Every structure is written in C-alpha cells, then in structure tokens.
Amino acid sequence: MNVHTYFEDIGIWPKDNVLISYVMGFILSLVCTVLAYMLATSSVLLFSFSVPIAVSLIVILAVIQLVVQLSFFLHLSARTTSRDRYLIFCATMFIVAVLFIGSVWIMNTLNTRMMPDTTNMNAYMKSQSGL
C-alpha cells in the first residue's frame, strides 16, 4: 500500500486538491447554516419576508448545504472514482422520496379517503338517492 495515494486508490478521494475541498465545504456549510438560522429567527424583522417565503428559502439553503457536504466532504460525484457510490445513492434517494412524500401525502389527505361516520353516511346516501 502507498499511504500517499491510498484514499485515491480505493476511490474515496478525487485526484484534485482535497484540502481546498474540505475548507470550501466547511465555509459554505457555515454560511448556509448561519443564513438559515437568521431567516428562521429574525426573517420577519430583518428582511420583512412572509413565512412561506422564509420557509422556502430555509429549505433551499438546506438542499444547497446537503449538496455541498455530499460533494466536498464525501466526494460524491458521477466521475469514475465514486460512480458506484453515486449510483446507489441516487437509487436510495428515490426510495427516500417515495417513502417521505408518499407518507406525508397519504396521511395528510386521510380524512378525505375515510368513510364518514353513520350520521353523515346516512345523510350522504339520502342525498344521493334523492329521498
């Protein structure tokens, strides 16, 4: 084993400068975290944003930070060095999306999918049969 190229050899690091990658990842993550925190705690006072806009901005900042950490800390990319990890990550994110969005969607619309109670059901049947 060559210590100085071991991480590159096992495909965990890209060939380019990794120190810059870690420092960049750290600084960008710090910026995203602090900005998101300011938005959540004082957005109405500082920037006079409405709540839905502040929420969307916070979520966008979180997504940016996730991409930053995945690429700068975990060195995940479609390049050949980490292609296998990248592909299984994409497949897992599909499962995660189905699981999360599907659960929230079904559970939040549960009431409209349930049969009404007896009183309401009788009223509904009467209205349908024209009695």
Partner 1 sequence: MTHVRTIESDTKTVFGFWTYLMTDLVLFASLFAMYAVLHANTAGGPSGRDIFSGPVVLAETLILLTSSFVVGLAMLAARAHKKMLVISAVVLTMILGIGFLATELAEFSSLVAAGHSWAQSGFLSGYFALVGTHGLHIFIGLIWALMLLEHIAHNGLTQSNMRKLVLFSLFWHFLDIIWICIFTLVYLLGII
Residue 122 interacting with partner 1 (CB under 8 A)? no
Question: 85-106 b/e with 16+ CB inside 10 Å = b?
Answer: ebeeeeeeeeeeeeeeeeeeee
Which residue number, 6 or 124, has a Cβ lying nearer to partner 1?
6
Among 2, 5, 10, smallest CA distance to 81 is for 10
Residue 35 interacting with partner 1 (CB under 8 A)? no
Please name the residues in contact with 86: beta carbons below 8 A apart, sequence gap of 6 or more.
76, 77, 78
Residue 74 interacting with partner 1 (CB under 8 A)? yes
Which residue number, 110 or 131, has a Cβ lying nearer to partner 1?
110
Residue 81 in contact with residue 14, Cβ under 8 Å?
A: yes
Task: Give the chain's radius of gyration (CA, Å).
Answer: 25
Residue 56 interacting with partner 1 (CB under 8 A)? no
The distance of closest approach from Cβ of residue 4 to partner 1 in the complex, given in angstroms and rounded to an integer, is: 6
Binding site for partner 1 (CB under 8 A): 1, 3-4, 6-7, 9-13, 18-19, 22, 25-26, 29-30, 33-34, 36-37, 39-41, 43, 51, 54-55, 58-59, 61-62, 65-66, 69-70, 73-74, 84-85, 88-89, 91-92, 95-96, 99-100, 102-104, 107-108
